[in-house]
Amino acid sequence: METAELTQEEQFQTRIDADVRIEPKDWMPEAYRKTLIRQISQHAHSEIVGMLPEGNWITRAPSLKRKAILLAKVQDEAGHGLYLYSAAETLGASRDQMLADLHSGKAKYSSIFNYPTLSWADMGTIGWLVDGAAILNQVPLCRTSYGPYARAMVRVCKEESFHQRQGFEIMQTLSEGTPEQKQMAQEALNRWWWPTLMMFGPKDADSPNTEQSMKWRIKRFTNDELRQKFVDMMVPQAEFLGLTVPDEKLRWNEAKQGYDFGEVDWAEFWDVVKGNGPCSRERLQARVDAWNEGEWVREAALAHAAKRSARGKV
């Protein structure tokens, strides 16, 4: 068929199939735009809410060096949130609306950040496991079909790699430390393993968005494919650390050259996604408070900008 005979939607799919990047001013189906705004804004919210569990440990980091590293990491997450809000704005989403949706509880953010950080080992586990999961999910997003999202992901992934190394290094230090330190590392792994597997989303069969997002090359792998890659990558690392993955069903499967593993507690996953996680209310309240307490800063910035533009300096 000649290009002229293709509908706009078919031409769009042809470009996607040829791996041509879609840019903000290109024509796109409304559903593609909506899906991207949904995913990118949820991703941005996750980065911002994701600062809270780790922020909890900045004042209690065990040394000045650890404190400086953690502080830098939490600041990186803020930067990731800002690139992602900017990427979503290129699709016509307003930042105020995205934030209002987060604050009203309408918009989702990653389930993982609704769990508490109870010990210093949780900082290691978040870096090692949670950022490890984030990298597996986000490296393919550097090749996502929408240009501004893909480009934001390149920088995010570089920073995530540093985060993962620092997490692994904390876990290694604890695992090679006193029996109490090793136990602290194991206990953190026990609490974070299953919630981390939930980060990849529902099983493919229960994921309403995966099929279309794969067709549009927004997602390059399905939720289950990434979850499998994660388990295959992490089990040898846990073994290296001398830690035990808390899954009795975990077995190497020679035929598939990957691990078989137990079933995630999906009832817990959906409960957390619906806003009933152990820290869900606390996390949301912290973001609403930050927004309200920052009102004077926004007002001052706007007044300053108005004054400058009245003077002709923009």
Q: Smallest distance, Å, CB 107 to ligand BYC?
A: 8
Q: Which of 56, 86, 90, 209 binds ligand BYC (CB under 6 A)?
A: 209
Contacting ligand BYC (CB under 6 A), which of 124, 167, 201, 277?
201
Q: Hey, which residues between 240 and 279 contact ligand BYC (CB under 6 A)? A: 273
Q: How far apart are CA 196 and CA 121, in angstroms?
A: 15
Q: Whole-angstrom Cα distance, residue 285 to residue 270?
A: 21
Q: Does 186 bind ligand BYC (CB under 6 A)?
A: no
* Shortest distance (Å) from residue 303 CB to ligand BYC: 33
Q: Which of residues 63-92 bind ligand BYC (CB under 6 A)?
A: 77
Identify residues 110-149 at the interface with ligand BYC (CB under 6 A). 110-111, 130-131, 134, 137
The count of other CB atoms within 10 Å of the CB of residue 123 is 27
Phi, psi of 253 (to 5 degrees): -110, 105
CA 52/CA 300 separation, integer angstroms: 26
Q: How many angstroms separate the CA atoms of 231 and 167, rounded?
A: 17
Tell me: does residue 228 bind ligand BYC (CB under 6 A). Answer: no
Interface region with ligand BYC, contact rule CB under 6 A, candidates 57-65, 105-113, 117-125, 300-308: 105-113
Single residue of 22, 28, 43, 146 touching ligand BYC by CB under 6 A: 43
- Number of residues assigned to the chain: 314
Residue whose CB is less far from ligand BYC, 182 or 221: 221
Question: Which residue, among 191, 203, 225, has the nearest Cα to 112 in the 3D structure?
Answer: 191
CA 275/CA 108 separation, integer angstroms: 9
Residues 39 and 99 sit within 8 Å (Cβ to Cβ): no
Q: Does 196 bind ligand BYC (CB under 6 A)?
A: no
Stretch that binds ligand BYC, among 43-51, 245-253, 259-267, 306-314 (CB under 6 A): 43-51
Cα separation, 164 vs 76, in Å, equals 13
User: Total residues contacting ligand BYC (rule CB under 6 A)?
Assistant: 27
Determine whether 45 is exposed, middle or buried from the number of CB atoms within 10 Å of its CB (0-12, 13-18, 19+): buried
| Alpha-carbon gap, residue 257 to 32, rounded angstroms | 35
Closest to ligand BYC by CB, 90 vs 181, is: 90
List the Cα angle 41/43/44 in 5-degree steps: 65
> What three-state secondary structure class fits 146?
strand
In terms of DSSP bridges, do strands 251-253 and 258-260 run parallel, antiparallel, or are they unpaired? antiparallel
Mark the segment that binds ligand BYC (CB under 6 A) among 42-50, 234-242, 243-251, 291-299. 42-50
Question: If binding is defined by CB under 6 A, does position 108 make contact with ligand BYC?
Answer: yes
Closer Cβ to ligand BYC, 11 or 203, answer by number:
203
283-302: contacts with ligand BYC (CB under 6 A): none
C-beta nearest to ligand BYC: residue: 50
Judge contact between 70 and 58, C-beta under 8 A. yes
144-173: contacts with ligand BYC (CB under 6 A)? none
Of residues 81 and 182, the one with the C-beta less far from ligand BYC: 81
For 272, the 3-state DSSP assignment is helix
Q: Rule CB under 6 A: say whether 13 interacts with ligand BYC.
A: no
Q: Which residues bind ligand BYC (CB under 6 A)?
A: 38-39, 42-43, 46-47, 50, 77, 108, 110-111, 130-131, 134, 137, 198-202, 207-210, 213, 223, 273
